[in-house]
Structure 1
Amino acid sequence: MNQPRYKIVFDGELMPETTLETVKENLARLFKSDLARIDSLFSGAQVALKRDLGENEANQYLTALQNAGARVRKELDQAASLSLVPTDDHQEEAPQEAAATSAASTSMTCPKCGHEQPKADECSACGIIIEKYLARQAQLAASPQPASAPASASPYAPPQANVAEQLPEFSELKVFGVSGRIGRVRYLGWLMAVTLCFMPILLLGTGMAAFSSTLAMLLLVLVSIGAIVISICIGVQRLHDIGWSGWLLLVHLIPIVGSVFALLMLIIPGTQGVNRFGPPPPPNSTAVKVLAWLFLLVPITGIVAAIAIPQYQGYVERAAEFQEQ
């Protein structure tokens, strides 16, 4: 008895918490196709993405496509499951019926995909050679394989390949870029590193002002632009780690709300595991942790200084008054 065959059906619906553009890009990578062809899958019509699959193959494609964000389903492929070998009761009648049908009609149905077309040696939909396909199916039906044999014994079956995208364990770290993810500690550490790198340059620009105010101003402008660009890059990666779009970084431009949003970026933890922006960031190094603590000490030191300096000045003034008396 032939094993049942399945097909993977898609009608344009998406999995929860996925976006249309992300799903289209994932499907384009999986099928190694361009976005123009992928767009045709989202017309709302039912499309069979894969046909004539064994159960294991169908489950593999089902899992991979659902992970890519497409809400697909597995259905029995009736056209591929039909037996092509006549039974004993119809051994003599089958050739006569085939001849009568051939003489009465000029159209044909593909035995693999069920496509209706004028009589031809090759199916215009799935591309199989009809005669070779029928001979192979008849051979398989006459000599059934054991259940443990792979379903890909047919030369027309899809290759045994893992179509799921193999993502790395951790995302790649890159300061100059808006792709990838970084956590809260690395975000603080990189901000501190940017501050430490640009502080000597700012001091140099201040010293150059004594000789040439134009060169000093030019240097300060270039340094400021560089610091802003790097801050935007690492800010977008921090938002990606939370699972938010990098465009939310524009919230910083709103008075008061921007300050609250910057605090949220330091408090909210990142997504556990893979999210739509990629794998999680790698573990924090010792240098990153030290820089993060230094960044936290800067505002704390400023607050302590703001409190202590006026107190010290008041103490000095009272001491001077006491000596005058």
Structure 2
Amino acid sequence: MNPPRYKIVFDGQLMPEASLEMVKTNLARLFKSDLARIDSLFSGTPVALKRDLGEGEAEQYLTALQRAGAKVRKELDQAASLSLVPTEAETVQAEQVKQAAAPHMTCPKCGHEQAKAAECSACGIIIEKYLARQAQLAEAAPAPAAVATAASPYAPPQANVAEQLPQYSELKVLGVSGRIGRVRYLGWLMAMTLCFIPIMLIGTGIAAMSSTLAILALGIVSIAAVVIGIFIGVQRLHDIGWSGWLLLVHLIPVVGSVFALLMLIIPGTQGVNRYGPPPPPNSTAVKILAWLFLLVPVTGIIAAIALPQYQGYVERAAEYQER
């Protein structure tokens, strides 16, 4: 008995917390297709994105597409005559019959349907010149394209998408792209603080020789700290799903302090968001640095309470000895 075959079906629904534009962009990248064909997948009609798959292949496609934000499902692929989902060949054949019955045409670039003409009324291309240019590009290509342009824009794009989307985002301290979670945000802030402490001590030594040189060095170090802090803050906002421009809220009195606290409390989005895949798991060093960062304000609060009490105790002891 032959093992069952499966198909991946999509009817335009999105995974939780996924935005429509982000999903369209991910699908266009995975299928190596243009947005005009991707838009046709969101009409609400079930479309078989991939057919005749083994169980392992179907699971790979299911995982990759759900990670991209598309709410797809795996179904048994019955015989073509019993399938409720039209195949690509059937769709192409139906479109060819439709075109033969009516004096209409489909733009080869944007897929716009219109009466037969030399120029597309939607995108404005001269159709003969566009087709000639595409033929030249096809001849100059190092290898023939594996997927031909379908006559119908409603045919599902074809590409091997399994495991194409990275599982985790790449970590880059010097940059505003990517995502970092709450623990890594605290750990990186603590690491930056520890790196700048010896630099500040060196600046103190320079001040003994030249105050002008010390002020210049202090200015350079301060600017570097602010820039790195912006990079880290933007990546933390990306993990929540917010724009990095919201970092400007820190400039607002009182509100900025509350916003900084929210950045430490609000967890990141699960899975892929519009800023990329989730950050990788936290290392042991990151966790230790994050705890050290939390201990700094706690230690300061304890010292602020204990030092006045100790000073009062010393003063009372001195008065008692004088008596």
TM-score range, shorter chain: 0.5 to 0.7
Displacement of 1:295 in angstroms is: 0.7
Partner secondary structure for residue 178 of structure 2: coil
Residue matched to 1:288? 286
Can you list the C-alpha shifts for 1:74-112, whole angstroms capped at 9, x where unaligned? 986599549xxxxxxxxxxxxxxxxxxxxxxxxxx9876
Q: Deviations over 1:150-209 (max 9, x none)?
A: xx9x9x899963246722222221111222222211111111000000111122222212
Q: What is the rounded CA distance, in whole Å, between the counterparts of 1:315 and 1:17 in structure 2?
A: 57
- Normalised by the length of structure 2, the TM-score is 0.61
2:170 corresponding residue in structure 1: 172
Which residues in structure 2 correspond to 1:51-66 (within 5 Å)? Answer: 56=52
Alignment of 1:36-75 (within 5 A): 38=35, 56=52
Quick check: 2:166–2:277 contact (8 Å CA) kept in 1? yes
Residue 116 of structure 1 corresponds to 99
TM norm structure 1: 0.60
RMSD over aligned Cα atoms:
4.6
Answer yes or no: is the 8 Å Cα contact 1:80–1:113 preserved in 2.
no
For residues 55 and 282 of structure 1, do their structure 2 counterparts lie closer, same or farther at Cα, with a shift above 3 Å needed? closer
Equivalent residue, structure 2, for 1:162: 160
CA shift, 1:246, in A, is 2.0
SS in structure 2 of the partner of residue 202 of structure 1: helix
| Offset at residue 65 of structure 1 (A) | 7.7
Change (3 A) 1:125 1:116: farther
1:9 is displaced (CA, Å) by 11
Structure 2 CA distance for partners of 1:189 and 1:70, relative to 1, 3 Å: closer
Partner residue in 1 for 2:231? 233
Alpha-carbon distance between aligned partners in 1 of 2:208 and 2:201, rounded to the nearest angstrom: 12
Q: Residue 277 of structure 1 aligns to a residue in which SS?
A: coil
Q: How many residues align?
A: 254
CA distance in 1, matches of 2:88, 2:269: 45
Task: State the distance in 1 between where 2:31 and 2:277 align.
Answer: 22
Q: Find the counterpart in structure 1 of residue 268 from structure 2.
A: 270
Distance 1:78 1:159, change over 3 A: closer
**Contact conserved, 2:28 with 2:38, CA < 8 A, in 1?**
no
Indicate if the aligned counterparts of 1:79 and 1:113 stay in contact, CA closer than 8 A.
no
2 CA distance for matches of 1:23 and 1:194? 35
CA–CA distance in structure 2, aligned partners of residues 222 and 268 of structure 1: 33
Which of 185, 188, 200 is the equivalent residue of 2:198? 200
The corresponding residue for 2:26 is 26
5+ residue gaps in structure 2?
1-8, 73-82, 110-145
Q: Distance in 1 between matches of 2:229 and 2:88?
A: 58
Residues 1:279 and 2:262 are matched in the alignment? no
**Equivalent-residue separation in structure 2 for 1:187 and 1:9 (angstroms):** 37
Distance 1:110 1:241, change over 3 A: closer
Runs of 4+ in structure 1 deviating by more than 4 angstroms, as ranges, are 13-21, 39-43, 53-57, 62-72, 74-80, 109-112, 123-126, 156-160
2:26·2:68 contact (CA, 8 Å) conserved in 1? yes
Which of 312, 315, 324 in structure 1 is aligned with 2:322?
Answer: 324
Q: 1:287 to 1:70 in 2, by over 3 A?
A: closer
Task: Call closer, same or farther: CA 1:186–1:246 in 2, change over 3 Å.
Answer: same
